[in-house]
Copies of this chain bind each other. A is one copy, B any other.
Amino acid sequence: MARQWLPALAWVKTYNGTKFTEDSLAAVIVTIMLIPQSLAYALLAGLPAEMGLYASILPLVVYAFLGTSRVLSVGPVAVMSLMTAAALGSLGLAPEQYITAALTLAFMAGAMLMLLGALRLGFVANFMSHPVVTGFITASALIISVSQVQHLLGIESHGYTLFELLPSLWKSAGQLNWVTVMVSAPTLLWLFWSRNGVAKLLKGWGVSHSTAQMFSRISPVVSVVATTMIAWWFRLDEIGLATVGQVPTGLPSVTLPSFDMQMWRLLGGSAVLIATIGFVESISVAQGLAAKRRERINPDQELLALGSSNVATSFFGGFPVAGGFSRSVVNYDAGAATPAAGLIAALLMALATLLFVPLLVYLPKATLAATIIAAVWSLVDISILKTAWRFSKADFLAVLATIVLTLLAGVEIGVAAGVLVSLIVHLYKTSRPHVAVVGELPGTEHFRNAARHEVETHETILSIRIDESLYFANTRYLEDIIYAMVAKRPRLKHVILMCTAVNEIDMSAMESILAMNEHLDELDIKLHLSEVKGPVMDRLERGEFLTKLSGNVYLSQHQAVEALK
């Protein structure tokens, strides 16, 4: 029981020196990668850079104790930061209020996740289909990239959709600052080249594959150090280069989210979406990595862990966090053995916060913008459109709606539209199930679609196979289609519904069959069922269905036809 609520008990018992060494190594690498990313994502969220560092400490600690994944790394991630910015940006808040609102958003999203976890409602996250999530992340990454262009060029833009961003970039393009461009252009080139280039180069020098990979992963820190030094040396901030500037030093002090009802009402919808997206991203990453080691993730416990991480960070100067893809993969590749790696990384982040914050004065914002673009660019996957188109028009529609609406109408409308479209498309499909008139293959006891096979049918018997569970969304369609078939067959005496593919039946369907039964009875036609599955039969036996049915329930379609012909 205790182990269920505190998964850490499982690994603490067998912890030893070897594991500590492995975990420490992974922690060092993750921390080096995280520092620039955390700063950058805070700026992306419209918050002071140091909040990115704050948000990277406590969530790691909380998750290490409560999470079921051994390698998931929880902290600021790109998409959540964009959603935070989009949620808060439109409210017109003063800087102080903006920070409180970000804390509140983290608290609300965290509390919701914890509530869902306590109620064991993790399944709600399943309503985001893979294609919708991929489409949403692709579109978000594009928006994020465009939103960072202002920092690369030293101009100003605003907005969270292409509709807002592009015209506002265009308008201020004239104020382009060349000093900024001379910092950002080489940084961007370095970041994109180093991704494969560093590893290739090092391997050329005889360095092992995994070490080379590690160095390429931490290459962003090189650009941070280099551009900060250059900016400081040449005092570039005095000739137009925007830098992070003076920030408070020391560890975060205790902060309080707002408990004002007015603010809660304003942020409610955004908190729901942020919580859902954060959970979906985390669980996908955790499940993917766990499967590689035959480990198990418990989704309800993950809700609790992720929720607690968000609540915790809201009290220590953070903003909404999630288990990020790139940070977790780096943690995994670097050989993290247990969640202790997260604890060590948290410690290192705290140290970094104490030591490095004063150095941020000269860190160019352009460097952080380039870091963001390089990081999110790997999330862009436009090919999802082609894949979806080939696979099914329904999935394509959902992906297209998600991408287009995210780009043009914003992240919240985009993701909501994606979920809605996939739900509606699913319901539409199951609301018009495949229904086949079947007949017996001569000489066998097999029944096949009469439209596709040469089968034996009878004028007085109509055998219908329904290839779907029966529930409210398809009962009316079914009545409709069956009445149409009956109207065409004047000599009909028996209708047999073959239920091999009926996995479920709800009350609407039961009532609908009874209504059909009654109407057919008035026309002197008996209604029968065959091959009803166990759970469906159990349910039908509970009401008066079987006594009201004019015909019988047969074990097999063959028996039914034999008895009635």
Contacts and interface: CB of A to CB of B under 8 A. Distances in A.
A200 interface: no
Contacts of A171: none
Number of this chain's copies in the assembly equals 2
Contacts of A511: 130-131
A510 B394 CA distance: 14
Interface string A380-414: 00000001101110110000000000000000000
Contacts of A433: 503
Interface in A416-432: 422-423, 426-432
Interface in A483-531: 483-484, 486-487, 500-501, 503-504, 506-508, 510-512, 515-516, 519, 522-523
Contact of A501 (B473, B484, B501, B508): B501
Nearest to A131: B507
B395 A506 contact: yes
Contacts of A510: 391
B472 A392 contact: no
A506 B129 contact: yes
Nearest to A422: B472
B392 A535 contact: no
A292 B395 contact: no
Contact of A427 (B127, B390, B523): B127
A523 B291 CA distance: 9
A483 B291 contact: yes
A422 B283 CA distance: 27
A392 B539 contact: yes
Given A294-B523, A480-B297, A486-B294, A428 B539 contact: no
Given A391-B539, A434-B503, A477 B292 contact: no
Contacts of A388: 507
Given A291-B519, A508-B129, A503 B391 contact: no
Given A484-B296, A503-B467, A428 B123 contact: yes
A391 to B, nearest CB: 5
Contacts of A390: 542-543
A167 interface: no
B288 A430 contact: no
Given A434-B503, A519-B291, A127 B296 contact: no
Given A129-B506, A130-B507, A391-B510, A296 B483 contact: yes
A469 B507 contact: no
B476 A391 contact: no
User: For chain A, which range describes its interface: under 10, 10 to 19, 20 to 34, or 35 or more residues?
Assistant: 35 or more
Contacts of A432: 123
A483 B512 CA distance: 39
A125 interface: yes
A440 interface: no
A337 interface: no
A98 interface: no
A440 to B, nearest CB: 19
Nearest to A503: B467
A110 interface: no
Contact of A487 (B131, B296, B468, B503): B296
A117 interface: no
Nearest to A518: B291
Contact of A472 (B290, B426, B431): B426
Interface centre among A292, A480, A500, by most B CB within 10 Å? A480
A126 interface: yes
A109 B190 CA distance: 60
Nearest to A474: B126
A397 to B, nearest CB: 11
A128 interface: yes
Nearest to A432: B123
B130 A472 contact: yes
A192 interface: no
Given A426-B473, A430-B469, 9 more contacts: A123-B473, A126-B431, A129-B471, A130-B472, A132-B472, A288-B515, A391-B507, A395-B507, A501-B503
4 tightest A-B CB contacts, nearest first: A129-B472, A291-B519, A395-B507, A130-B508
13 contacts: A126-B475, A126-B476, A127-B473, A291-B516, A294-B486, A299-B476, A387-B543, A392-B539, A422-B472, A468-B503, A469-B469, A500-B500, A501-B501
